[in-house]
Amino acid sequence: MICFFIRVSPVCLTSDNLYRMNIISGPHWLAKGIGSAAFTPVLLVSFLGFTLWTLGSVGGSAPTQQNPAIVLSLLAVAAGCLALSWVRPQRAGLSPPHVMLSLGFGGMFLGLLYDVLNAGPERLLSLCSQSAALGFFEGMQIHLEFLPGMHAGMLAGGLLAIPSLRLLRPHCGRYLCSLFAQNLMCSTWMMVGMTLGALWLSRWQWLGGVSTLPGMLGGMFVGMTWGMVASVALYRGLFSLRQRPQVG
């Protein structure tokens, strides 16, 4: 009998190593779909472009009026996704912020469909003409009144990230999984961002003498994306300060 002795360097069997070695199995197709820092931006920008173009056609806006706002919205959302990847790099095949962003976008799309079917494009068009002259708190109030489904969908999608991350990463610890308080803080930032984005893009259009529904709604998606970036950056900054060793 011949024995072979192979020297193997020690490997730390952390949850991330087990995930890469496929010892711990998981729904890889779902993680790659909504939790990928590479695929998620393409998916979100594509859906957003189709949605804004469709609403612009239904609302009767001329392409020369709505196309600049749509392009600006898509570029700003893509830039926000890149910033999110920089603030929170992807690890072990999954990016928790991108999971929450995907679910938040999905909730907004479903809520927007409800608002359009319930109120009609004409009522939402009247909101566009009002947004350019509103302040932040007045804008948030009237957006909640005109677009309740869109805001409720965003909040529901964001909070749905908690059980979704438990499903995608059942082996992850408390640090990697989204907690209720953290997600609630992130949802608040995204809500604020939705209002700021809508007011910003509405005023940008107003300066050009144009007011379109895709512009205002595109601004809401832009603000929601950058609200997520701000929330994650703030959370990671506070976490780094807590982890810094105390001197003295």
pLDDT in the model for residue 110: 93
- pTM of full prediction above 0.75: yes
The pLDDT, as a whole number, for residue 14 is 42
Residue pointed to by tokens 């003409």: 129
- pLDDT at site 209: 75
58 closest CA partner among 121, 148, 138, 139: 121
Contacts of 118 (CB under 8 A, 6+ apart): 149
pLDDT tens for each residue of 162-175:
776 666 555 555 54
Say which residue, 65 or 194, is predicted with more confidence.
Answer: 194
Cβ atoms of residues 108 and 187 within 8 Å:
no
Residue 91: strand, helix, or coil? strand
C-alpha to C-alpha distance for 154 and 30, rounded to whole angstroms: 20
How many angstroms separate the CA atoms of 84 and 224, rounded? 12
- In this prediction, residue 159 has a pLDDT band, given cuts at 50, 70 and 90, of confident
pLDDT at residue number 134: 80
Pull the structure tokens for residue 149. 């489904």
DSSP reduced 3-state for 179: coil
Q: What is the band of 92 on the pLDDT scale with cuts at 50, 70, 90?
A: low
- Summarize pLDDT for 36-50 with one digit per residue, the tens: 667 778 888 998 999
Give ∠ CA 35-218-112 in degrees, rounded to 5: 75
> What does the pLDDT read at residue 126?
78
Provide mean pLDDT across the span 216-229: 92
Q: Can you tell me the distance from the alpha carbon of 240 to that of 248, in angstroms, rounded to the nearest whole number?
A: 19
Those residues whose C-beta lies under 8 Å from the C-beta of residue 56, and which sit 6 or more positions away, are 63, 66, 70, 212, 213, 214
Q: Which residue has the tokens 């809508």?
A: 198
Residue 238 has pLDDT above 80, yes or no: no
Whether the pLDDT of residue 198 is over 80: the answer is yes
Contact yes or no for 193/105 (Cβ under 8 A): no
Lowest mean pLDDT among 5-14, 126-135, 136-145, 184-193: 5-14
SS3 category, 196:
helix
At position 246, the amino acid (one-letter code) is Q
Tokens found for residue 134: 């509103």
pLDDT in tens, 7-56: 444 444 444 443 444 433 444 445 455 556 677 788 889 989 998 888 87
